[in-house]
Amino acid sequence: MKTNRISLEEALDLAKNADFLTLGRLAREIACKKNGKRGAYLIDRNINYTNVCSARCNFCAFYRPTVNHRESYNLTYAEIDSKIAEALEMGSRRILMQGGLHPDHTLDDYVNLVSHIKKSHPTIHVHAFSPPEIHHVAVKAGISHEETLTRLKEAGLGSMPGGGAEILVDSVRDRIMTGKCNTQTWLDVMEALHRIGLRSSATMMIGHIESWKDRIEHLDRLRSLQDKTGGFISFVPWTFQPENTAMNPQAKRNRNVKLATPYEYLRLLALSRIYLDNFDHIQVSLLTQGTKVAQIGLHFGADDLGSLLIEENVVRSAGCPQEVGLKKEKMIRIIREAGLEPYERDTFYNRV
C-alpha cells in the first residue's frame, strides 16, 4: 500500500476546489513521469455479437429486449469471421467483442465462440466480454466466476475490457439499471480474472445522476483492487450519450440528469491520473469527446487516445456524433499536434 497517496477526502476537495489548469498540470506531470511525452493509439474493431439483452439500463440505446424484437440480432460465425478478416486487412491485431446479456446464451456458447475465432484467426487478440456478461453465464452454468473465466482463457480469451462499470456505487446503479451485476460482483469478476493471470481495463461513465463523491468512490474501489491484483492495464472514463435512451435529459422526468461538460470531463480525467497512482495508463475517450477535447486530454493526464475504431455500435446508438474509422495518419497527426510522440500499441501498451 502506498502511503503518500491522496485520500478520498483530499480528492473530493481537489475535484471541487482546485484550479482547473493546476489540476491539469499536476496530472500531466504524473503522466510524463510514467510514460514520457508519448501518446498511444491502437487499431481494433468492436464486434457486438448480439444486441438482445435481459438487463434494462436506462442509459443504453443499443439493446433490444427480446429475441423476437424486429431489430434484434445475433451475429453468425460467418458474419464474425468476415468482420475479423476485414479488421486484419486494415492492420488490426485485436478485436474488442461485447454483447447484451442474451437470455439463451450459455457459457458453452461463449467458449465455442472464442475457440472458433482463435481457430479461424490464430493471430488475433481476443479482448472480450465484461463482468456483467461473465456473471450472466456463470450463474446459468452454476459455477464460479473463476471457473468460467478459466474455461474462456483456455479457449483463447486474451484480456477483458472494463465494460459495465458505469459508476461503482450501488445507490447510483440501482437508479439507472436493472438486471445487471452490482458493484461487488463487478469487482469480484475482475479480481477472479486477474487471479487467473488475465488483465483488463477499467472504465467509468460520467454525466448522468452521479455526484463527485460517487465518482471518487468509484476511483477508490479501482485503486484498492489494483493494490491487491495489479491486473488493470488502464482506466478509461467516458461520458453518457443521451440520445434514444430512457435517461435523455430533454424528457421532463429526467430533470436530475446532468450531462458532463468538457470542463467537467477534463477535471475528472486529471483527477483520475492523480488518484490512480497504481495505474500505468489513462485513456481519454476520443469517441465521446472528439478530437479537440481529446487533444487537451493529452495535457490533462491521459497518455492514450485508444482505438481507431473500425466499427462501434453501442455509443453510436445513443447519438454519439464523433467519427469512427479514423485513418491511422489522422490519429498520428492528432497526437503529434498535441505535442506528443505518437506510437501504435497493443493491448498491453507494447509498441508495435
Q: Which residue, 164 or 301, has its beta carbon nearer to ligand SF4?
A: 164
Rounded Cα distance between 237 and 27, Å, is 15
In the complex, minimum distance from the CB of residue 4 to ligand SF4, in angstroms, rounded to a whole number: 37
Q: Which residue, 60 or 268, has its beta carbon nearer to ligand SF4?
A: 60
Q: Which residue, 133 or 304, has its beta carbon nearer to ligand SF4?
A: 133
Beta strands in 58-120 (DSSP E): 94-98
Pair 349, 40: CB distance under 8 Å: yes
As beta bridge partners, residue 44 has: 94
Distance of CA 196 to the CA centre of its chain: 21
What residues line the site for ligand SF4 (CB under 6 A)?
Answer: 53, 55, 57, 60, 62-63, 100-101, 132, 180
CA angle, residues 324, 261, 264, in degrees to nearest 5: 110
Distance of CA 78 to the CA centre of its chain: 27
For 211, the enclosing helix (H) or strand (E) is none
In the complex, minimum distance from the CB of residue 211 to ligand SF4, in angstroms, rounded to a whole number: 21
Q: Which residue, 294 or 320, has its beta carbon nearer to ligand SF4?
A: 320
Phi, psi of 125 (to 5 degrees): -85, 125
For 182, the enclosing helix (H) or strand (E) is none
Rounded Cα distance between 268 and 18, Å, is 12
Q: Which residue, 91 or 319, has its beta carbon nearer to ligand SF4?
A: 319
Rounded Cα distance between 300 and 90, Å, is 31
Q: Which residue, 291 or 313, has its beta carbon nearer to ligand SF4?
A: 313
In the complex, minimum distance from the CB of residue 159 to ligand SF4, in angstroms, rounded to a whole number: 19
Pair 251, 62: CB distance under 8 Å: no
